Amino acid sequence: MVPHVSVVNVANMLTGLRIVLVPVFLVALFVGDGHETFWRVVAFIVFTAAVITDRLDGEIARSYGMVTEFGKLADPIADKALIGAALIGLSMLGDLPWWVTVVILAREVAVTVLRLAVIRRGVIPASRGGKLKTLVQAVAIGLFVLPLSGAWLAAAWVLMIAAVVLTVLTGLDYLLSAVRGARAV
Protein backbone atom coordinates (compact mmCIF):
# COMPACT_ATOMS: atom_id res chain seq x y z
CA MET A 1 0.00 0.00 0.00
CA VAL A 2 1.31 3.44 -0.97
CA PRO A 3 1.42 5.83 2.00
CA HIS A 4 -0.72 8.94 1.75
CA VAL A 5 1.27 12.10 1.12
CA SER A 6 -0.24 15.28 2.51
CA VAL A 7 -0.90 17.98 -0.06
CA VAL A 8 0.31 20.44 2.58
CA ASN A 9 4.05 19.92 2.38
CA VAL A 10 7.21 21.95 1.78
CA ALA A 11 7.40 21.16 -1.94
CA ASN A 12 3.81 22.27 -2.60
CA MET A 13 4.27 25.37 -0.43
CA LEU A 14 7.24 26.34 -2.61
CA THR A 15 5.07 25.89 -5.70
CA GLY A 16 2.39 28.05 -4.05
CA LEU A 17 5.02 30.67 -3.20
CA ARG A 18 6.08 30.75 -6.87
CA ILE A 19 2.47 31.39 -7.91
CA VAL A 20 2.22 34.23 -5.36
CA LEU A 21 5.52 35.72 -6.58
CA VAL A 22 4.22 36.12 -10.16
CA PRO A 23 2.05 39.21 -9.43
CA VAL A 24 4.73 40.57 -7.07
CA PHE A 25 7.24 40.26 -9.92
CA LEU A 26 4.88 42.02 -12.34
CA VAL A 27 4.24 44.90 -9.95
CA ALA A 28 7.99 45.43 -9.49
CA LEU A 29 8.56 45.17 -13.25
CA PHE A 30 5.96 47.82 -14.08
CA VAL A 31 6.59 50.37 -11.30
CA GLY A 32 6.76 53.86 -12.77
CA ASP A 33 7.47 53.62 -16.45
CA GLY A 34 8.75 50.05 -16.15
CA HIS A 35 12.34 51.16 -16.58
CA GLU A 36 13.29 52.38 -13.13
CA THR A 37 16.61 50.76 -12.24
CA PHE A 38 15.81 50.07 -8.58
CA TRP A 39 12.52 48.38 -9.38
CA ARG A 40 13.98 46.38 -12.25
CA VAL A 41 16.57 45.00 -9.82
CA VAL A 42 13.76 44.20 -7.36
CA ALA A 43 11.86 42.45 -10.18
CA PHE A 44 15.03 40.47 -11.01
CA ILE A 45 15.40 39.39 -7.37
CA VAL A 46 11.75 38.27 -7.20
CA PHE A 47 12.06 36.45 -10.55
CA THR A 48 15.25 34.73 -9.39
CA ALA A 49 13.63 33.67 -6.11
CA ALA A 50 10.70 32.21 -8.06
CA VAL A 51 13.04 30.32 -10.42
CA ILE A 52 14.93 28.91 -7.41
CA THR A 53 11.65 27.65 -5.90
CA ASP A 54 11.04 25.82 -9.19
CA ARG A 55 14.34 23.99 -8.83
CA LEU A 56 13.84 23.25 -5.14
CA ASP A 57 10.23 22.08 -5.08
CA GLY A 58 10.77 19.21 -7.50
CA GLU A 59 13.97 18.04 -5.82
CA ILE A 60 12.37 18.16 -2.38
CA ALA A 61 9.24 16.38 -3.57
CA ARG A 62 11.20 13.53 -5.16
CA SER A 63 13.88 13.24 -2.47
CA TYR A 64 11.51 13.21 0.50
CA GLY A 65 8.52 11.38 -1.00
CA MET A 66 6.35 14.49 -1.18
CA VAL A 67 5.11 14.03 -4.75
CA THR A 68 1.37 14.74 -4.94
CA GLU A 69 -1.19 15.00 -7.72
CA PHE A 70 -1.62 18.65 -6.76
CA GLY A 71 2.10 19.26 -7.18
CA LYS A 72 2.18 17.50 -10.54
CA LEU A 73 -0.59 19.83 -11.74
CA ALA A 74 0.38 23.07 -9.97
CA ASP A 75 4.13 23.00 -10.69
CA PRO A 76 3.91 23.33 -14.50
CA ILE A 77 1.13 25.92 -14.13
CA ALA A 78 3.36 27.97 -11.82
CA ASP A 79 6.30 27.62 -14.24
CA LYS A 80 4.28 28.73 -17.24
CA ALA A 81 2.69 31.60 -15.30
CA LEU A 82 6.10 32.92 -14.27
CA ILE A 83 7.78 32.58 -17.66
CA GLY A 84 4.69 33.79 -19.53
CA ALA A 85 4.22 36.82 -17.28
CA ALA A 86 7.88 37.77 -17.64
CA LEU A 87 7.89 37.42 -21.43
CA ILE A 88 4.63 39.30 -21.91
CA GLY A 89 5.71 42.01 -19.44
CA LEU A 90 9.07 42.51 -21.16
CA SER A 91 7.37 42.68 -24.57
CA MET A 92 4.78 45.17 -23.30
CA LEU A 93 7.63 47.37 -22.05
CA GLY A 94 9.35 47.16 -25.45
CA ASP A 95 12.39 45.36 -24.03
CA LEU A 96 11.79 42.09 -25.86
CA PRO A 97 10.33 41.71 -29.35
CA TRP A 98 6.87 40.15 -29.43
CA TRP A 99 8.04 37.42 -31.83
CA VAL A 100 10.26 35.96 -29.08
CA THR A 101 7.34 35.90 -26.65
CA VAL A 102 5.00 34.37 -29.25
CA VAL A 103 7.46 31.62 -30.27
CA ILE A 104 8.19 30.59 -26.67
CA LEU A 105 4.58 30.74 -25.47
CA ALA A 106 3.24 28.98 -28.58
CA ARG A 107 5.67 26.11 -27.97
CA GLU A 108 4.65 25.90 -24.30
CA VAL A 109 0.95 25.78 -25.19
CA ALA A 110 1.56 23.23 -27.97
CA VAL A 111 3.59 20.91 -25.72
CA THR A 112 0.98 21.18 -22.95
CA VAL A 113 -1.82 20.30 -25.39
CA LEU A 114 0.31 17.46 -26.79
CA ARG A 115 0.96 16.07 -23.31
CA LEU A 116 -2.76 16.18 -22.52
CA ALA A 117 -3.59 14.49 -25.83
CA VAL A 118 -1.31 11.51 -25.18
CA ILE A 119 -1.74 11.22 -21.40
CA ARG A 120 -3.71 7.98 -21.79
CA ARG A 121 -0.54 6.33 -23.14
CA GLY A 122 1.59 7.77 -20.37
CA VAL A 123 3.37 10.97 -19.52
CA ILE A 124 6.01 12.33 -21.87
CA PRO A 125 8.81 13.00 -19.39
CA ALA A 126 10.85 16.17 -19.45
CA SER A 127 13.94 15.56 -21.54
CA ARG A 128 17.44 16.77 -20.78
CA GLY A 129 16.98 19.22 -23.64
CA GLY A 130 13.75 20.45 -22.08
CA LYS A 131 15.49 21.02 -18.77
CA LEU A 132 18.33 22.86 -20.52
CA LYS A 133 15.74 24.95 -22.40
CA THR A 134 14.11 25.92 -19.11
CA LEU A 135 17.44 26.93 -17.57
CA VAL A 136 18.54 28.99 -20.60
CA GLN A 137 15.11 30.65 -20.82
CA ALA A 138 15.22 31.58 -17.12
CA VAL A 139 18.74 33.04 -17.31
CA ALA A 140 17.97 34.94 -20.54
CA ILE A 141 14.72 36.34 -19.18
CA GLY A 142 16.42 37.28 -15.92
CA LEU A 143 19.08 39.20 -17.84
CA PHE A 144 16.40 41.03 -19.83
CA VAL A 145 14.69 42.04 -16.59
CA LEU A 146 17.90 43.71 -15.43
CA PRO A 147 18.63 47.20 -16.80
CA LEU A 148 21.60 46.12 -18.93
CA SER A 149 23.39 47.77 -21.82
CA GLY A 150 26.46 47.27 -23.97
CA ALA A 151 28.21 43.90 -23.80
CA TRP A 152 25.88 42.64 -21.06
CA LEU A 153 22.83 43.28 -23.23
CA ALA A 154 24.59 41.58 -26.15
CA ALA A 155 25.21 38.54 -23.91
CA ALA A 156 21.54 38.57 -22.90
CA TRP A 157 20.60 38.50 -26.60
CA VAL A 158 22.92 35.56 -27.28
CA LEU A 159 21.25 33.63 -24.46
CA MET A 160 17.76 34.62 -25.60
CA ILE A 161 18.44 33.43 -29.16
CA ALA A 162 19.81 30.18 -27.70
CA ALA A 163 16.63 29.90 -25.61
CA VAL A 164 14.43 30.38 -28.69
CA VAL A 165 16.41 27.76 -30.65
CA LEU A 166 16.23 25.29 -27.74
CA THR A 167 12.52 26.06 -27.35
CA VAL A 168 11.80 25.16 -30.97
CA LEU A 169 14.09 22.09 -31.03
CA THR A 170 12.72 20.62 -27.80
CA GLY A 171 9.17 21.29 -28.99
CA LEU A 172 9.91 19.26 -32.12
CA ASP A 173 11.49 16.56 -29.94
CA TYR A 174 8.30 16.31 -27.85
CA LEU A 175 6.25 16.05 -31.04
CA LEU A 176 8.48 13.24 -32.36
CA SER A 177 8.25 11.43 -28.99
CA ALA A 178 4.47 11.61 -29.13
CA VAL A 179 4.37 10.33 -32.71
CA ARG A 180 6.70 7.43 -31.84
CA GLY A 181 4.56 6.63 -28.82
CA ALA A 182 1.40 6.63 -30.94
CA ARG A 183 3.00 4.29 -33.47
CA ALA A 184 4.08 1.89 -30.73
CA VAL A 185 0.49 1.45 -29.56
Residue 5: inside a domain, yes or no?
A: no
The reply to whether 71 falls in a domain is: yes
Of 36, 178, 51, nearest to 120 by C-alpha is 178
Query: Which residues 6+ apart lie within 8 Å of 162 measured at CB?
Result: 136, 140
Share of the chain above pLDDT 70, in %: 92
- 170 SS3 class: helix
Would you put residue 3 in left (φ > 0), alpha (ψ -120 to 50) or beta?
Answer: beta
**How far apart are alpha carbons 166 and 168 in whole angstroms?**
5
Residue 18 covered by a domain: yes
pLDDT digits (tens, 9 = 90+) for 72-129: 778 888 999 999 999 999 999 999 999 999 999 999 999 888 877 776 666 666 678 8
Q: Is residue 60 part of a domain?
A: yes
Region 8-30: what's the mean pLDDT?
94
Does residue 1 lie in a domain region? no
Residue 145 CA to residue 44 CA, distance in Å, equals: 6
Contact in structure between 14 and 56 (CB atoms under 8 Å): yes
| C-alpha–C-alpha distance, residues 125 and 11, integer Å | 19
Residue 50 resides in a domain: yes
22 vs 63 pLDDT, higher one: 22
In this structure, the dihedral spanned by the alpha carbons of residues 148, 150, 154 and 160, taken in order and rounded to 10 degrees, is 10
The domain that holds 86 is classified in CATH as 1.20.120.1760
Structural domain count, the chain: 1
CA 175 remoteness from chain centre: 19
pLDDT at 126: 67
Q: Quick one: average pLDDT of 6-35?
A: 93
Domain-located, residue 108: yes
Per-residue confidence (pLDDT) for residue 6, from 0 to 100: 81
Residue 72 belongs to a domain:
yes
pLDDT at position 183:
73
Q: Which domain holds residue 88?
A: 10-184
- Would you say residue 66 has pLDDT above 60? yes
